[in-house]
Amino acid sequence: MDTNQYIEVFLDESREHLQSVNDNLLKLEKQPEELTIVSEIFRSAHTLKGMAATMGFEDVASLTHQMENVLDKIRNGELVVTTEVIDVTFSAIEALEEMVESISNGNDGKKDVTELVSKLEKIENGSSTHELHESTPSKTSDTLFEMDEYQSTIISQAAEQGYQVVQITVQLNDDCILKAARAYMVFEKLENKGEIVQTIPSVEEIEEGNFEQDFSLLMVTKETNTDIEKVIHSVSEINQVEVSEFTLEKANNNEKQESKPESVTPDTNTEAPQGKQKQSKTIRVNLERIDNLMNLFEEVVIDRSRLEDLAQKLKEPELTETIENMTRVTEDMQGLMLSMRMVPVEQVFNRFPRMVRGLAKELEKEINLEITGADTELDRTVIDEIGDPLVHLIRNSLDHGVESPAKRRESGKPEEGNVSLRAFHSGNHVFIEIEDDGAGINRDKVEAKAIENGLLSAEHSEVLSDEEIYQLIFSSGFSTADQISDISGRGVGLDVVRSKIESLGGNIIVESEPGKGSKFSIQLPLTLSILSTLLVNVQDEIYAVPLSAIVETMLLDETQIMSVQGQKVIDFRGKVVPIVSLREIFDVPRQDESKEENAVVIIHKGDKMAGLLVDSFIGQKEVVLKSLGNYLRDVFAISGATILGDGQVSLIIDPNALVK
């Protein structure tokens, strides 16, 4: 079957499931008793297996299959969750990720998984001895039924009562996989046609699927042979059915064997209740398609401006109105299209918990990773590029930042180190911070190294502040580790991190306090970002204030404004809050003297507040944040611009700059 058309979907879903297994494994490690998590993992592994098998990626399928076996045992209480189980499963997931990536790069996704499979098998068999592993198939070619007395009696009586005894041999298709279930279906069909006296192999073995492709049974029935054949053939995957008359003489010479017929008891495995999984209504769209859409859209916009010109010339009210409407709609469309490119930084962050877990083990450190702001959105392009620098910084924090448990105990810190990974919006940028509570940066070491490497002269170093010295670690060829460790010393320094971030139009700084820890802050441009804002009027101009910074809006009476040491303040819920007039700050010419500035937007930065005096509020609006471009960098209190529905550019205020 041509599967190429599905490969994208396959890859996307595989990655999704691997991620989910990843997340759930981490959860499971914390709550090993929680079987619903096991079920979740099982389900993902299971889906992966099915997909991989369909696509012909056999290594993926066989590894997931073995994972599934282990998980199934855990789910059924036959195996307990141990660190070993989690570790091996993690390695399996890693291998699977590699294979999936290999497939996505156009390779065949092949990988030698025998070692992992055998490790999993070991776990699977280790604690449960009664499990029949790959059992020796029973021989059924010589179908010789052996009768005990009871069975002989039934048969002879049946014959007397006009029943016939038939020997049935059913051969399943060679590719039939769930043989037991198939056999069960055959039994089910036969059940109301007569009584099954005996089977070869035994019912138990058939139930376990321990037979090659065929099994035989002895049955007392009134149906004709052809009818029985027909009934059995109504089941799928039946290759061949032989029905023949059976006489006691045929079995007489055989030894007795304990084998009693009984109705087939079904396996009563029931799945643990599925955890509620959020089902978001999404579809997958190739990024390229969105870009194509954008390009086409640009053309529409160009035609739109032509139409606008025409409308101006023709002065046809209906035409003008239509085009105005079209302009509004297209602006909205544009906003939507841009927002389609935005993805939560979660996509990058979610691989870190496992990485940190693995590294911590390797380094024999105890580390708790705290992630906040994973829902912060960044443009897809930035997301794709930011992963590696972050990996490097986190490795760095774990390796050089957080101390060994012993050392931490000595310095009176909890043995478990803390690494925080944060993402948030501020002004024109998205910030990503990596903070640890480790040893901090050793100024003397950095200084010495920098002087040694010729990055700095001894005289010059004296005048530099600690902060300035710390930034030297991003210089090319710099490494403070006394010895190159396996974790962060992979031949690339933080200079690579810095240049990568700079190539994305961002920058990186480090803050540190000896003994307390370090914080790396990455500032990334919001090339495209949707922001909720409040639009306000200042004279004829419209400014947008980010909703996230707004505490409240209110209308003021002249009398409520007081003056403290020349600074206008108001009393806001018992707090003295300074008031700044946007008109004055932005030097907006006063065109309309009658306009009274009596509307106040209370904004905050941390727990500090300020009131922005404006003329009036226009309303709330989701806007696409746009940079002012490279020409206008660092404009005071302006974090960017946005284009309003009427095509007018409106500036977005950076509240941080206005709260002192």
Partner 1 sequence: MENYMKVIVFTLKGQRFGVDVQQVISIEKIQEITKVPRTSEFIKGVINLRGETIPIVDLKERLEIEQTESSPNNRFLIVQVEDVQVGLIVDSATDVLDINTDAIQPAPKMIGGVQEVFLQGVAKLESELLIMLDLGRVLDLEQTNEIKEIIE
Partner 2 sequence: MANILITDDAAFMRMQMKDILTKLGHQVVGEAENGQDAVEKYQELQPELVTMDITMPEMNGVEAVREIKKINPDAKIIMCSAMGQQGMVVEAIQAGAKDFIVKPFTPDRIKESVEKVL
Residues recognised as catalytic = 46, 68, 396
Rule CB under 8 A: say whether 279 interacts with partner 2.
yes
- Separation CA 591–CA 81 (nearest Å): 74
Q: Which of 41, 60, 65, 246 binds partner 2 (CB under 8 A)?
A: 65
x/- map, 590-629, partner 1, by CB under 8 A: ------------------------------------xxxx
x/- map, 310-339, partner 1, by CB under 8 A: ------------------------x-----
- Separation CA 155–CA 160 (nearest Å): 9
- Give the H/E segment covering residue 3: none
Considering only residues 31 through 50, tell me which ones interact with partner 2, judged by CB under 8 A: 42-43, 46-47, 49-50
Question: Which of partner 1, partner 2, none interacts with 541 (beta carbon under 5 to 8 A by kind)?
Answer: partner 1
Rule CB under 8 A: say whether 153 interacts with partner 2.
no
Pairing of strands 416-426, 366-372: parallel
Name the residue nearer to partner 1 (CB basis): 90 or 543.
543
Q: Which of 80, 132, 178, 314 binds partner 2 (CB under 8 A)?
A: 178
Question: Which of partner 1, partner 2, none interacts with 53 (beta carbon under 5 to 8 A by kind)?
Answer: partner 2
For the bound state, the minimum distance from the C-beta of residue 588 to partner 1, rounded and expressed in Å, comes to 7
Rule CB under 8 A: say whether 651 interacts with partner 1.
yes
Quote the distance between the C-alpha of residue 521 and its chain's center: 24
Rule CB under 8 A: say whether 292 interacts with partner 1.
no
- Edge-first strand order for the sheet with 194-200 is 194-200, 214-221, 164-172, 238-245
Rule CB under 8 A: say whether 186 interacts with partner 2.
no
Rule CB under 8 A: say whether 267 interacts with partner 2.
yes
Name the residue nearer to partner 1 (CB basis): 333 or 391.
333
Pick the piece of the chain touching partner 2 (CB under 8 A) from 2-10, 27-35, 313-321, 583-591.
2-10
- Separation CA 528–CA 526 (nearest Å): 5
Rule CB under 8 A: say whether 363 interacts with partner 1.
no
- Separation CA 546–CA 532 (nearest Å): 6
Rule CB under 8 A: say whether 6 interacts with partner 2.
yes
Question: Which of partner 2, partner 1, none interacts with 569 (beta carbon under 5 to 8 A by kind)?
Answer: none
For the chain, what percentages of helix, strand and coil (3-state, to nearest 5) are there? 45, 25, 30
Cis status, amide bond into 201, omega within 30 of 0: yes
CA-to-CA separations, 572 to 535, 567, 577, 608, in angstroms, rounded: 22, 15, 6, 12
Crossing angle (nearest 10°) for helices 380-396 and 352-363: 20
> 495 has which bridge partners?
none
Burial 581-609 (b: 16+ CB within 10 A, else e): ebbebbebeeeeeebebbbbbbbbbeeeb
User: What's the one-letter identity of residue 176?
Assistant: C
What single DSSP character describes residue 438?
Answer: S
* Count of residues near partner 2 by CB under 8 A: 46
Dmax (CA) of the chain: 119
For the bound state, the minimum distance from the C-beta of residue 224 to partner 2, rounded and expressed in Å, comes to 21
Site residues (CB under 8 A) for partner 1?
298, 301-302, 305, 309, 334, 541, 585-588, 626-638, 641, 643, 647-651
Site residues (CB under 8 A) for partner 2?
1, 3, 6, 9-10, 13, 42-43, 46-47, 49-51, 53-56, 65, 68-69, 72, 175-178, 180-181, 184-185, 188, 209, 234-237, 266-271, 274-277, 279
